[in-house]
Amino acid sequence: MRPLRFLGLIAALACGAVHAAPTAEAARADALAQFRKDLVGALAPRADAEHLLGAALLARTLQAQPQPLTFHDLLARAAAAADAGPAVAWAQLGDCADATCPQPQALAKLRQQAPGNAAVWLLALNAAAAAKDAAAARAALAEAAARDRYDGYSGPLLRAAAAASLALPMDPEVARALTGSAEATAPAQWLVVAGSVAALPRPAFFAAADLCLRPAAPDDALRADCLGLGHALEGSDGFLARRFGLQLRARLATDPARQADAQREIRDLTWQFEQYSRLGVRALREADVARALLTLALRGDGELDACRALLRRFGVPLQAPPAWRPPSERRPLPATTALP
């Protein structure tokens, strides 16, 4: 499992940290922790899955929480709620009390709740690859390829985090501690939301890449399964999943036109990633960007839909300009170049 990176959010959090003096950073951390504790306390009496899930996300990094208010306990209550959906089980994958991660019970529940989700079988593929069980890995790839979609539940998770983070009004002094300005309520609220979802898990694609992209000439059955997985990933709600699906098509499709189309889509997706990340950084200092992100989060859109809606909102084209070059093609600055 790797941390869930809602694109631009981690960069935004880091941007705020690197410019703060140590004492200011400590004050910001204390203010953020206390506000999260207040939110968790206010949300704990709720009985619906979404608010309990949001409270759990807020509580995840808090220290010395009493037992009813821990990440584990709040997630367990969310899972027991009548309206609990697969997003709760997805969050539980990272609730690992020991080295067994993803959590086996959550994985079984997710397989029951979302049998058509290829993400479940990618987790099984990763586990088989880690155990060096080639037969099980190949079988898991075939199962993933037979599914019609990949869902990382970014929309429901972000909506739960946003709803929870907005459950109490933010004191101007908390906003000041978090952003440096008492009037920057929306950027401070977005900081709370972004931090709440930053450490959630998602499957990595290293095992699938090893199976599908390493062979110089995959056999017909393997090629078909890898393209089937790619098709599910291309319909994903997340950047990384969609990108990997496009990479599978670009590499394995036998039709040159389909390969070229996948390469073009990868280029546009990389452009969107970069522009969304820049807007995520701006959200910490520009209230209109932060408010737009909060609105999209509450709407429950997945990563890609939210990204594209945000880009449209601020007049950024979805297609990469002809002169734009992706980071992999840019020449690094010489070591002696002075940065402004």
Q: 289 or 217: whose pLDDT is higher?
A: 289
Is the pLDDT assigned to residue 7 strictly greater than 50?
no
pLDDT of residue 330: 75
Q: To the nearest whole percent, how much of the chain has pLDDT over 70?
A: 89
pLDDT of residue 290: 97
- The whole-number pLDDT of residue 96 equals 82
pLDDT of residue 258: 97
Band of residue 312 on the pLDDT scale cut at 50, 70, 90: very high
Residue type, 12: A
pLDDT of residue 276: 95
Task: Reply yes or no on whether the pLDDT at 191 is more than 70.
Answer: yes
Q: Examine the pLDDT at 1 and tell me if it is beyond 50.
A: no
Compute the average pLDDT of residues 10-24.
48
Say what the pLDDT of residue 333 is. Answer: 47
As a whole number of angstroms, the distance between CA 68 and CA 73 comes to 6
pLDDT tens readout for residues 113-150: 999 999 999 999 999 999 999 999 999 999 999 999 99
Average pLDDT, the chain: 88
Helix axes 154-165, 22-43, angle to 10 degrees: 90
**Exposed (0-12), middle (13-18) or buried (19+): which is 321, by Cβ within 10 Å?**
exposed
Q: Evaluate if residue 339 carries a pLDDT over 70.
A: no
Give the phi and the psi of residue 84 in degrees, each rounded to 5: -70, 135
Q: Look at residue 203 in the predicted model and tell me its pLDDT.
A: 67
Please tell me the pTM assigned to this model. Answer: 0.86
Lowest-pLDDT range of 25-39, 178-192, 224-238: 25-39
Question: Per the omega criterion (within 30 degrees of 0), is the bond before 102 cis?
Answer: yes
User: How far is Cα 70 from Cα 58, in angstroms, rounded to an integer?
Assistant: 9
Q: Angle, nearest 10°, between helix axes 134-145 and 118-130?
A: 170
In sequence order, the 6+-apart residues with CB closer than 8 A to the CB of 322 are: none
How many CA within 13 A on the CB side of residue 29? 12
Collapsed DSSP state (helix, strand, coil) of residue 243: helix
pLDDT mean over 152-175: 95
**Mean pLDDT score, 49-60:** 96
State the pLDDT confidence band at 237, using cuts at 50, 70 and 90.
confident
- The answer to whether the beta carbons of residues 81 and 48 sit under 8 Å apart is yes
Of 204, 249, 231, give the one whose Cα is nearest residue 145: 231
Domain range summary for the chain, segments of one domain joined by +: 8-110+151-203
The 10s digit of each residue's pLDDT in 243-264 is: 999 999 999 999 999 999 999 9
The alpha-helical segments, DSSP class H, found in the chain are 9-18, 22-43, 49-59, 71-80, 86-92, 104-113, 118-130, 134-145, 154-165, 172-179, 185-197, 206-213, 220-234, 239-252, 256-282, 287-299, 303-313
